[in-house]
C-alpha cells in the first residue's frame, strides 16, 4: 500500500514536471559514458579522463527553460595514463583532492545554436565556482539519448596549478573538456 | 672548403653534420642527466621538452646525414692502418649511425608510452608511435639508458682514436674532419 502510494506520488510529480516543462529525466550510464580533458604540456597536447562521475540530465529540446544538468566528478578518478602525473594532479598543487574531492557542474541556462545547443553553468573546481559555457548535441534514441559536447576553461581561474604549476610556460592555462554521455531514462 | 668530400678530406656538409650532431649529443647528455633525477615539476618538464626537441632534431639530421653519406663517399681510411684497426673504425661508425636513429626513436616511443606527446620547440607535435602503456615505458626507458651508455662508450673510443691517429700515427684522420685547417698530407 505504502509502495503504491509512493509510486502514485512519483507519478503525479513526474506528470507535473512534464506538464510544467516537458523535460525528460536521464542519468548517465557510467560504463558507456566518457569525460575527457586535454591539456597542453611543453607545446604538446595530452589527454586524460575522469573515470568516475555522475550526471543527472533533465532535458528536452523544446523545453530549454526547464532543462537542467547536474554533474559530479570524482577528482580522484583522474587518469592521464601516467601514474606520476596522476599523483601530481591529485596533489595539493593541482586538484588538491584531499580538500576538494569532487568537482561540480550545474547549468543555469540553455540556448539553441546552429549545431545543437549551448548551456552556461557554474563549475565548482577546487572550491572555486565560475561560469563555464558548454556546447553539446542531444540525440534521443530508443533506449534513452546521447549527449556529446565540449567546453573550454582556464585552469588558473580555479586555482588549478600552484607552486611549480602556476606558470603557463610549460603547462598551458587553457584546458579542453569533451564528454559523450549515454543517457538512460530515470524511472 | 668544398661541399663534397674528397678522397682525403671531409667536405663542408659532412663536417657540418658531424660537428652539429656532436654538439647536440653533448647537449642531450647534459639535459638527460639533469632531468633524470628530478621529481615531476616545471623544471623537469622544461629540461625534457628541450631534450625531446633536440632529440627530434638529431633524428631529422641523421636522416639527411645518412642520405648525404650514401651519395657522397667519405674519405678513405689511411692505407697504413691494420685490418683490425679498420674493422674497429668501421664498426664504431656503423654503431654511431645506428644510435643516431635508435636514441631518438626509443625516446620518442618512450614519450608516447607515457602519454607525453613530443613537441618540436612548440612549433608542431609529433604523432604518438604507440598508445600509452606503463610496461612499455619502463622497457623503453631502460633501453634508452642502455643505448646512451653505449653511445657514451663509443664516443670516448672515437675521441681517443682520433687523438691517437693525430698524435701517435701522425696521419690526417683528425685534421680532415676539422674546419678552418688545411689538410696537409701527413701520411
Measuring CA to CA, how many Å separate A131 from each of A36, A122, A180?
Answer: 19, 4, 21
Residue A15 pLDDT greater than 90, yes or no: no
A177: which strand partners?
A37, A151
- CA–chain centroid gap for A141, Å, is 21
| Tens-digit pLDDT profile for residues A99-120 | 999 999 999 999 999 999 999 9
A7 lies in some domain: no
Q: Taking CB atoms and an 8 Å limit, are B45 and A171 in contact across chains?
A: yes
Distance CA(A140)–CA(A131), nearest Å, equals: 27
A6 lies in some domain: no
Nearest CA in chain B to A44: B119
Nearest CA in chain B to A89: B40
Residue A5 pLDDT greater than 60, yes or no: no
Q: Taking CB atoms and an 8 Å limit, are A43 and B132 in contact across chains?
A: no
Residue B80 pLDDT class (50, 70, 90 cuts): confident
| Tens-digit pLDDT profile for residues B117-169 | 999 999 999 999 999 999 999 999 999 999 999 999 999 999 999 999 999 98
Count of alpha carbons within 13 angstroms of residue A30, beta-carbon side = 9
Residue A131 pLDDT greater than 50, yes or no: yes
Q: In this complex, is the C-beta atom of A92 within 8 Å of any C-beta atom belonging to chain B?
A: no
Count of domains forming chain A: 1
A17 lies in some domain: no
What residues of chain A lie within 8 A of the CB of B52, using their CB?
Answer: 42
For residue B41, give how far its alpha carbon lies from the nearest alpha carbon of chain A (Å). Answer: 6
A14 lies in some domain: no
The mean of the pLDDT values for chain B is: 92
Phi, then psi, of B36 in degrees rounded to 5:
-55, -45
Least confident stretch, A14-18, A24-28, B78-82: A14-18
Nearest residue, CB atoms, A46 vs list B48, B115, B121: B115
Q: In this complex, is the C-beta atom of A2 within 8 Å of any C-beta atom belonging to chain B?
A: no
Name residues whose C-beta falls within 8 Å of residue B95's C-beta, 6 or more positions apart in sequence. Answer: B150, B154
Count of alpha carbons within 13 angstroms of residue A154, beta-carbon side = 8
The DSSP letter of residue B169 is I
Q: Which of B39, B113, B115 to mutate to test the interface with A (most CBs of A within 10 A)?
A: B115
**pLDDT, mean of residues A134-149:** 94
Residue B19 pLDDT greater than 60, yes or no: yes
A94 lies in some domain: yes
Q: Which of B108, B117, B118, B129 to mutate to test the interface with A (most CBs of A within 10 A)?
A: B117
Return the pLDDT at A14. 47
Return the pLDDT at B81. 87
**Do the beta carbons of residue B50 and residue B31 sit within 8 Å?**
yes
A16 lies in some domain: no
Q: Taking CB atoms and an 8 Å limit, are B42 and A81 in contact across chains?
A: no
Residue reference for cell 635508435: B102
Distance CA(B25)–CA(B40), nearest Å, equals: 24
Name residues whose C-beta falls within 8 Å of residue B123's C-beta, 6 or more positions apart in sequence. Answer: A43
Region for B76 from its dihedrals, namely left if φ exceeds 0, alpha if ψ lies in -120 to 50, beta otherwise: beta
Return the pLDDT at A21. 55
Measuring CA to CA, how many Å separate B179 from each of A139, B13, B21, B66?
Answer: 68, 11, 15, 20
**pLDDT, mean of residues A147-174:** 95
Would you say the pTM of this structure is higher than 0.90? no
Residue B183 pLDDT class (50, 70, 90 cuts): low
Distance CA(A116)–CA(A119), nearest Å, equals: 10
Return the pLDDT at B187. 45
Interface predicted TM-score (ipTM): 0.80
* Percentage of chain A lying above the pLDDT 90 cut: 82
**Cell numbers describing residue B171:** 696521419
Q: Which residue has the higher pLDDT, A94 or A10?
A: A94
Q: Taking CB atoms and an 8 Å limit, are A45 and B117 in contact across chains?
A: yes
Least confident stretch, A119-128, A172-181, B27-36, B40-49: B40-49
Q: Strand, helix or coil at A187?
A: coil
Return the pLDDT at B94. 96
For residue A174, give how far its alpha carbon lies from the nearest alpha carbon of chain B (Å). Answer: 15
Return the pLDDT at A4. 60
Residue B76 pLDDT greater than 70, yes or no: yes
A15 lies in some domain: no
Query: Which domain covers residue A172, as residue numbers?
Result: 22-185
Q: Which helix (H) or strand (E) holds B171?
A: none
**Do the beta carbons of residue B51 and residue B35 sit within 8 Å?**
yes
Least confident stretch, A5-9, A34-38, B138-142: A5-9
CATH number, domain of A131, equals 2.40.128.110
A8 lies in some domain: no
Return the pLDDT at A7. 56
Q: In this complex, is the C-beta atom of A93 within 8 Å of any C-beta atom belonging to chain B?
A: no
Amino acid at each position: 500500500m505504502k509502495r503504491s502510494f509512493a509510486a502514485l506520488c512519483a507519478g503525479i510529480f513526474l506528470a507535473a514536471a512534464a506538464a510544467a516543462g516537458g523535460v525528460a529525466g536521464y542519468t548517465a550510464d557510467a560504463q558507456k559514458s566518457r569525460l575527457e580533458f586535454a591539456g597542453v604540456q611543453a607545446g604538446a597536447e595530452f589527454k586524460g579522463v575522469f573515470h568516475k562521475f555522475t550526471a543527472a540530465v533533465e532535458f528536452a529540446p523544446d523545453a530549454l527553460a526547464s532543462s537542467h544538468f547536474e554533474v559530479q566528478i570524482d577528482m580522484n578518478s583522474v587518469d592521464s595514463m601516467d601514474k606520476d602525473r596522476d599523483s601530481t594532479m591529485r596533489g595539493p598543487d593541482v586538484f588538491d583532492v584531499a580538500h576538494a574531492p569532487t568537482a561540480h557542474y550545474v547549468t543555469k541556462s540553455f540556448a539553441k545554436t546552429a549545431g545543437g545547443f549551448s548551456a552556461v553553468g557554474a563549475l565548482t573546481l577546487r572550491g572555486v565556482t565560475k561560469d563555464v559555457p558548454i556546447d553539446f548535441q542531444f540525440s534521443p534514441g530508443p533506449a534513452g539519448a546521447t549527449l556529446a559536447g565540449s567546453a573550454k576553461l582556464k585552469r588558473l581561474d580555479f586555482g588549478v596549478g600552484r607552486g611549480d604549476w602556476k606558470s603557463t610556460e610549460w603547462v598551458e592555462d587553457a584546458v579542453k573538456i569533451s564528454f559523450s554521455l549515454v543517457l538512460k531514462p530515470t524511472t | 672548403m668544398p661541399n663534397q668530400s674528397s678522397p682525403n678530406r671531409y667536405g663542408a656538409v659532412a663536417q657540418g653534420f658531424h660537428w652539429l650532431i656532436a654538439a647536440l649529443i653533448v647537449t642531450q647528455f647534459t639535459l638527460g642527466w639533469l632531468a633524470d633525477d628530478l621529481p615531476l615539476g616545471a623544471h623537469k618538464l622544461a629540461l625534457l621538452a628541450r631534450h625531446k626537441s633536440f632529440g627530434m632534431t638529431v633524428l631529422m639530421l641523421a636522416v639527411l646525414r645518412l642520405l648525404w653519406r650514401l651519395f657522397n663517399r667519405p674519405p678513405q681510411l689511411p692505407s697504413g692502418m691494420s685490418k683490425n684497426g679498420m674493422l674497429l673504425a668501421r664498426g664504431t661508425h656503423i654503431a654511431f649511425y645506428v644510435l643516431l636513429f635508435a636514441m631518438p626513436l626509443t625516446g620518442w616511443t618512450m614519450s608516447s608510452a607515457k602519454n607525453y606527446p613530443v613537441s618540436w620547440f612548440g612549433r608542431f607535435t609529433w604523432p604518438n608511435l604507440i598508445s600509452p602503456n606503463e610496461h612499455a615505458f619502463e622497457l623503453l626507458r631502460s633501453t634508452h639508458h642502455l643505448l646512451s651508455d653505449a653511445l657514451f662508450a663509443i664516443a670516448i673510443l672515437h675521441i681517443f682514436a682520433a687523438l691517437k691517429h693525430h698524435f701517435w700515427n701522425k696521419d690526417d684522420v683528425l685534421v680532415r674532419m676539422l674546419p678552418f685547417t688545411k689538410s696537409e698530407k701527413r701520411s
